[in-house]
């Protein structure tokens, strides 16, 4: 058997590449010139506005001079944008949670990090419990901080995190239920999914915040945040169920039969054979749904909860400052980008590792 | 749409009464005392009225109104928690008992007073709708605005007032509707409209957001009456009286010259009006179900009406509003409180 030879290395010549790709036809030449011109003229002013002419430090609104962005505004309100109305003296509790969140999830990007799997499991199980104790307080001598004081980035993360942690298992159960052979369970799951999926989140939140209190007897008010969290989780689980059902349907019937042939019961068959395959198949869909949820959390604005966008919007109208709306929105966009891009990278990482794309 | 709103309001009222009848074990005052704090509904960020500051503390005239009520009950102005509410949520939150008092820049109208199961307790700010125009269109009176494009914020009484005004004066206008006040002023700055209309109290603040504030002027016309004040649930007259008389005490205090600074000295005053207000004589507090010195506590913690006004919206603040209608009746305004006796 003759040894196969590696394909010849393709030399990379920038000039040749440019000629092949950017300047090969008259319209490509035109496009290239226009695009380069547009980038060239806009990047300078943008950098100037963002960094060079911008004001980062100072004492009060009058220090914001010049044409650049007034990051001083963000700087001064950062505490409010991060923690909302959470009392200053208790903010260390939130800091611990931010830290633990980072400890649990940042190592997931580093291939050889020791015990990273356990950290991930901790992030999905232990972390919510710690958060449940630490953030509201009222236990172990911790001062109680009611949920109407939570706000800013912290609230956004809580909403997204609880929504994600809650909707994944619920979604799996609903997806399995929808494919169940028992008519009652199947019927229930179908109705649940179709009802929740057909309603916009904004309506769900509105029902939870405006209508629900009217139906409950007076004095039996459970908190607005809790109502919103339940609404978001149920709504999201309906979407999640459909994503996961897509994965379940992609598993050939032979896999199910093989499981049965091994003498596995329904749950062990699902847990050991079907779900591991189905879930890895739909990682892009799951993460896509998570990212969507992360963005949708801003809708709590309409029920008067101060997530990061809410805190920014409530303060950019402060007449003491010049127009700082753009700075505020750029800041919010940046925060969202960091988290959503992180999630996206993680999913690509996972896909590469599990090789779900069947590329190699 | 109107029918739907009426229907919804009717249902809400019905539900409100049903619940009021089965769960009114305690009065609002008792419930508030048991909780240990007042729960007060405010806006989600309106300069001068209720807005969080750098530290995340609520400030504004509506916020101070809540603090005054808390001071009257507990003797401490900080025994209050704030619930930020959107315009749509505000009445439900009050009807359902989520909040004890609504102090959210809310205009007192007949429909709201009569059909929502709520009571307006008074007016802590007399506002009215006005116009901000580009200087270079050369208009000096709102009557000359025929054919103008107008930037408005959606879903407020502002929109209805504007239509009424233009119809009454037989003029045409083209509305350009935005979702938030921030967007409205951006639209105005970008030249999408000649005129911006909003409550007068907000016009100056909106004007200051323009790149060149001197390019726009506020017209002298006021096209609507917007008496803004606290709101409580119907059916608890004691609570209604408390909220009403806390504001009256602040207005009377200004009339009598009692401020948060001189209140200690005023306690020694021989003037019977002052004595009754500060509780050194008479049983005014007892009649309301409050401590005898509730007036003293309110002035000590929050100040009289004038102080409250000047601190939040008056000259020297970013809103920089003259007292105007909100001056005392003795000084040309219409702020008038019944006597405390």
Residue B227: what are its φ and ψ, rounded to 5°? -75, 120
Virtual torsion, Cα B324, B326, B330, B332, nearest 10 deg:
20
Q: For domain B26-126+227-331, give its CATH number from 3.20.20.450, 3.40.50.2000, 3.40.190.10, 3.30.365.10.
A: 3.40.190.10
A204 and A169 part of one domain: yes
Interatomic CA distance for residues A88 and B57, integer angstroms = 11
Does the pLDDT at position B21 exceed 70? no
Residue A94 lies in a domain: no
A211 and A318 part of one domain: yes
Domain limits for position A274: 75-86+145-354
What is the pLDDT, as a whole number, of residue B205?
80
Residue A126 lies in a domain: no
Q: What is the interface pTM, i.e. ipTM, of the complex? A: 0.75
A222 and A329 part of one domain: yes
Does the pLDDT at position B6 exceed 60? no
Q: B318 vs A318: CB contact, 8 Å cut-off?
A: yes
Confidence of residue B215 (pLDDT cuts 50, 70, 90): confident
Q: Are A103 and A62 in contact (CB under 8 A)?
A: no
A194 and A322 part of one domain: yes
Residue B111: what are its φ and ψ, rounded to 5°? -60, -45
- Show me where the domains of chain B are located: 26-126+227-331, 129-224
Does the pLDDT at position B295 exceed 80? yes
To probe the interface with B, which of A84, A152, A214 has the most B CB atoms within 10 Å? A214
A294 and A149 part of one domain: yes
Counted domains in chain A: 2
Residues of chain B contacting A76 with CB distance shorter than 8 Å:
54
Candidates B238, B80, B100, B259; CA nearest to A218 is B100
- Percent of chain B exceeding pLDDT 90 equals 54
Asked if domains B26-126+227-331 and B129-224 share a fold, the reply is yes
Residue A27 lies in a domain: yes
Residues of chain B contacting A310 with CB distance shorter than 8 Å:
44
Alpha helices (H) along B81-230: 90-95, 110-115, 157-168, 181-189, 200-207
**Total Cβ atoms within 10 A of residue B249:** 27
Does the pLDDT at position B319 exceed 50? yes
Candidates B200, B160, B193, B194; CA nearest to B178 is B193
Average pLDDT over residues B34-52: 90
Give the count of Cβ contacts less than 8 A between chain A and B.
Answer: 117
Nearest CA in chain A to B41: A304
Q: Which of A77, A88, A219 sits opposite B23 (nearest CB)?
A: A219
Confidence of residue B18 (pLDDT cuts 50, 70, 90): very low
Indicate the range of A5-14, A266-275, B91-100, B116-125 predicted with least confidence: A5-14
Confidence of residue B22 (pLDDT cuts 50, 70, 90): very low
**Mean pLDDT of all residues in chain B?**
87
Residue A178 lies in a domain: yes
Residue A302 lies in a domain: yes
Average pLDDT over residues B122-138: 91
Mark residue A237 as left, alpha or beta (left: phi above 0; alpha: psi -120 to 50; beta: remaining).
alpha
Residue B3: what are its φ and ψ, rounded to 5°? -60, -40
A48-52, A63-67, B61-65, B172-176 — which one is most confidently predicted on average?
A: B61-65
What is the pLDDT, as a whole number, of residue B262?
94
What is the pLDDT, as a whole number, of residue A220?
59
Reported as a single tens digit per residue, the pLDDT across A238-275 is 999 999 999 999 999 899 899 889 988 888 998 888 88
- Percent of chain A exceeding pLDDT 70 equals 95
Q: Collapsing DSSP states into helix, strand and coil, what is residue B38?
A: strand
Residues of A with CB under 8 A from a CB of B: 76-77, 79-80, 83-86, 88, 146, 148, 151, 206, 209-211, 213-219, 221, 224, 301-306, 310-311, 313-320, 322-323, 325
- CATH-assigned architecture of domain B129-224: 3-Layer(aba) Sandwich (3.40)
Q: State the CATH number of the domain containing residue A240.
A: 1.10.3720.10
Residue A149 lies in a domain: yes
A220 and A329 part of one domain: yes
Nearest CA in chain A to B40: A148
Q: Are strands B148-153 and B195-199 parallel, antiparallel or unpaired?
A: parallel
Stretches in chain A below the pLDDT threshold 70: 1-2, 9-11, 217-222, 355-360
Q: B19 vs A217: CB contact, 8 Å cut-off?
A: yes
User: Residues 6 or more apart from A126 whose CB is under 8 A from it?
Assistant: none
Indicate the range of A212-216, A297-301, B46-50, B248-252 predicted with least confidence: A212-216
What is the pLDDT, as a whole number, of residue B20?
44
Indicate the range of B11-15, B68-72, B168-172 predicted with least confidence: B11-15
């Amino acid at each position: 058997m003759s040894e196969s030879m590696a394909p010849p290395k393709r030399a990379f010549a920038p000039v040749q590449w440019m000629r092949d790709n950017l300047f090969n036809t008259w319209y490509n030449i035109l496009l290239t010139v226009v695009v380069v011109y547009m980038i060239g003229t806009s990047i300078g002013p943008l950098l100037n506005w963002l960094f060079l002419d911008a004001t980062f430090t100072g004492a009060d609104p009058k220090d914001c001079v010049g044409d650049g962005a007034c990051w001083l505004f963000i700087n001064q309100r950062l505490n409010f944008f991060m923690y909302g109305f959470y009392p200053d003296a208790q903010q260390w509790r939130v800091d611990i949670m931010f830290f633990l969140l980072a400890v649990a999830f940042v190592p997931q990007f580093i291939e050889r990090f020791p015990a990273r799997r356990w950290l991930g499991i901790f992030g999905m199980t232990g972390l919510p419990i710690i958060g449940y104790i630490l953030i509201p307080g009222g236990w172990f001598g911790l001062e109680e901080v009611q949920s109407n004081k939570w706000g800013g980035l912290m609230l956004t993360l809580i909403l997204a995190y609880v929504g994600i942690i809650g909707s994944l298992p619920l979604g799996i159960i609903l997806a399995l239920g929808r494919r169940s052979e028992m008519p009652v369970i199947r019927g229930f799951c179908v109705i649940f999914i179709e009802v929740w999926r057909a309603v916009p989140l904004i309506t769900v939140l509105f029902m939870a915040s405006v209508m629900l209190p009217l139906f409950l007897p007076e004095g039996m008010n459970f908190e607005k945040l809790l109502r919103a969290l339940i609404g978001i989780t149920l709504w999201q689980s309906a979407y999640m169920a459909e994503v996961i059902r897509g994965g379940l349907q992609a598993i050939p019937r032979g896999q199910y039969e093989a499981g049965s042939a091994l003498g596995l019961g329904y749950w062990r068959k699902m847990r050991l054979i079907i779900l591991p395959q189905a879930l890895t198949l739909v990682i892009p869909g799951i993460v896509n749904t998570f990212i969507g949820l992360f963005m949708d959390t801003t809708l709590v604005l309409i029920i008067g909860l101060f997530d990061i966008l809410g805190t920014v919007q409530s303060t950019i109208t402060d007449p003491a400052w010049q127009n700082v709306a753009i700075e505020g929105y750029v800041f919010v966009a940046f925060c969202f980008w960091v988290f959503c891009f992180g999630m996206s990278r993680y999913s690509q990482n996972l896909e590469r590792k599990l090789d779900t794309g069947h590329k190699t | 749409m109107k029918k739907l709103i009426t229907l919804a309001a009717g249902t809400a009222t019905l539900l409100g009464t049903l619940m009021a009848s089965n769960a009114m074990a305690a009065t609002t005052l008792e419930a508030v005392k048991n909780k240990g704090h007042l729960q007060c509904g405010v806006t989600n960020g309106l300069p001068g009225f209720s807005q969080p500051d750098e530290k995340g503390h609520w400030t504004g005239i509506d916020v101070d109104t809540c603090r005054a009520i808390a001071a009257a009950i507990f003797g401490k102005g900080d025994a209050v928690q704030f619930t930020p509410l959107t315009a749509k949520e505000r009445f439900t939150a009050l009807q359902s008992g989520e909040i004890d008092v609504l102090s959210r820049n809310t205009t007192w109208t007949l429909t709201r007073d009569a059909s929502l199961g709520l009571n307006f307790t008074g007016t802590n700010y007399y506002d009215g709708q006005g116009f901000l125009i580009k200087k270079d269109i050369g208009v000096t009176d709102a009557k000359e605005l025929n054919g103008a494009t107008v930037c408005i914020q959606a879903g407020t009484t502002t929109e209805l007032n504007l239509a009424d005004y233009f119809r009454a004066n037989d003029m045409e206008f083209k509305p350009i509707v935005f979702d938030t006040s921030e967007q409205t002023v951006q639209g105005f700055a970008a030249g999408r409209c000649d005129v911006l209309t909003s409550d007068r109290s907000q016009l100056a603040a909106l004007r200051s957001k323009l790149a060149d504030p001197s390019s726009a002027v506020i017209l002298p016309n006021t096209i609507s009456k917007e008496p803004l004040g606290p709101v409580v649930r119907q059916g608890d007259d004691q609570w209604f009286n408390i909220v009403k008389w806390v504001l009256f005490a602040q207005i009377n205090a200004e009339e009598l010259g009692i401020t948060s600074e001189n209140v200690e000295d005023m306690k020694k005053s021989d003037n019977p009006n002052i004595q009754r207000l500060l509780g050194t004589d008479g049983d005014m507090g007892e009649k309301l179900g409050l401590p005898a010195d509730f007036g003293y506590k309110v002035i000590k913690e929050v100040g009289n009406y004038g102080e409250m006004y000047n601190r939040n919206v008056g000259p020297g603040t970013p809103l920089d509003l003259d007292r105007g209608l909100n001056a005392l009746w003795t000084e040309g305004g219409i702020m008038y409180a019944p006597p405390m006796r």
